[in-house]
């Protein structure tokens, strides 16, 4: 290769690197922490660990640097955190290189409450980073007594209707559907998972999921529909609760109970085979509109509470 070509390539590489550096590091020294996680998840809903663990990823413009101390703020309101106030927990400047599995050590966390947090760190030279972005997490239902719902079952499709006098500003749905479930609100399916919940020793504990359903609700008539399959549970059972906060401050709870109605839906049997899960169905039955508002409710019949045989409800 001619000498001038080598010089040109070398110069181009230096120019590229010099242009890249400001993009990668907006300032010299420690960068704001990134990839904030609570219990290994990004902004999780419905955790039930009373002292959740936090983690973050360090960034620095220099090589061979690390964390010598950190400060973590947890607040009950985002506005407090914006003022750098941690009304739930402020550990001050704690000398520690740990940036993973940092255990919460603040005021007791409330059931169903949302919390906001951020963190900064000091490098080995004692220089502080900017605070991270604001992350958040929400607690689940922390005690069995907080579940207002009753176990119901029998039919493989269950539904209920309810009225909201105002728009919802915050709504969370908590559900355990055994053996497997599919949840819909006003005709819209919740979540992308299939074969939920995961297998457990059902007589000892069962798992529930939390959904943010605020955008699925509307003022006036609403409906919830759940389709159940036996799975490894060999039966069908539903425990459901939805906590709703309205624009005027009123709180409403919709929970599974004897007023729910059920009928036999299109999937007549759920099969777990060596080659994977499958199902048998009836082409003469429909599921599409059964979870939309239907005051007549012609095919549905009342389903009373049942003894589920399930154990402790866990997140």
We find that the CATH architecture of domain 27-138 is Sandwich (2.60)
Return the H-helix or E-strand segment holding 255.
strand 251-255
Distance (Å, whole) CA 157 – CA 111: 30
pTM for the full predicted model:
0.81
pLDDT at 176: 95
pLDDT at 163: 96
Mean pLDDT within 151-173:
94
| Confidence label for 136 from pLDDT (cuts 50, 70 and 90) | very high
Strand partners, 94: 70
The CA-based angle 185-187-190, given to 5 degrees, is 50
- Both tokens assigned to 127: 């220089």
Q: What is the DSSP string of 182-209?
A: EEEETTEE--S-SSPSPP--TTTEEE-E
pLDDT at 29: 84
- In whole angstroms, how large is the CA radius of gyration of the chain? 26
CB-CB contact of 70 with 128 (8 Å): no
Mean pLDDT within 20-26:
52
Please report the beta strands in 112-156, taking only residues with DSSP state E, as ranges in sequence order: 114-123, 135-138, 152-153
| Confidence label for 169 from pLDDT (cuts 50, 70 and 90) | very high
Q: What are phi and psi of 288, to 5 degrees?
A: -55, -45
pLDDT at 47 over 90: yes
Within 13 Å of residue 249, how many CA atoms lie on the same side as its CB? 0
Q: Structural domain boundaries of the chain?
A: 27-138, 144-314
Condensed to tens digits (0 to 9), the pLDDT of residues 62-108 reads 888 899 999 999 999 999 999 999 999 999 999 999 999 999 999 99
pLDDT at 266: 73
pLDDT at 8: 39
Distance (Å, whole) CA 254 – CA 162: 8
Task: Give the number of other Cβ atoms within 10 Å of residue 230's Cβ.
Answer: 17
- Third-level CATH fold of 144-314: Jelly Rolls (2.60.120)
pLDDT at 117 over 90: yes
């Amino acid at each position: 290769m001619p000498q001038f070509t080598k010089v040109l390539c070398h110069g181009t590489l230096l120019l590229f690197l010099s242009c890249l550096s400001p993009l990668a590091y907006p300032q010299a020294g420690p960068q704001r922490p990134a990839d904030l996680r609570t219990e290994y998840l990004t902004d999780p809903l419905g955790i039930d660990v009373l002292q959740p663990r936090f983690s973050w990823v360090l960034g620095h413009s220099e090589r061979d640097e690390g964390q010598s101390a950190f400060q973590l703020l947890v607040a009950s309101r985002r506005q407090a955190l914006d003022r750098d106030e941690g009304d739930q927990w402020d550990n001050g400047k704690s000398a520690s290189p740990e940036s993973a599995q940092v255990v919460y050590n603040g005021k007791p966390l409330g059931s169903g409450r949302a919390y906001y947090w951020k963190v900064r760190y000091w490098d080995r030279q004692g220089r502080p980073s900017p605070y991270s972005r604001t992350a958040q997490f929400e607690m689940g239902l922390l005690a069995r007594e907080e579940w207002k719902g009753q176990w119901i079952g029998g039919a493989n499709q269950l539904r209920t209707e309810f009225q909201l006098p105002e728009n919802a500003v915050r709504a969370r749905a908590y559900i355990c559907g055994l053996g497997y479930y599919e949840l819909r609100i006003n005709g819209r399916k919740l979540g992308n998972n299939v074969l939920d919940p995961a297998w457990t020793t059902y007589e000892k504990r069962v798992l529930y999921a939390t959904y943010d359903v605020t955008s699925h609700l509307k003022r006036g008539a609403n409906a919830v529909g759940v389709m159940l399959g036996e799975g490894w549970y060999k039966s069908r059972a539903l425990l459901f609760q939805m906590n709703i906060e309205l624009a005027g401050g009123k709180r409403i709870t919709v929970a599974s109970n004897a007023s729910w109605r059920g009928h036999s839906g299109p999937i007549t049997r759920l099969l777990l085979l060596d080659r994977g899960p499958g199902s048998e169905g009836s082409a003469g039955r429909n599921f599409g509109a059964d979870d939309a508002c239907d005051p007549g409710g012609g095919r549905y019949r009342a389903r009373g509470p049942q003894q589920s045989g399930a154990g402790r409800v866990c997140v």
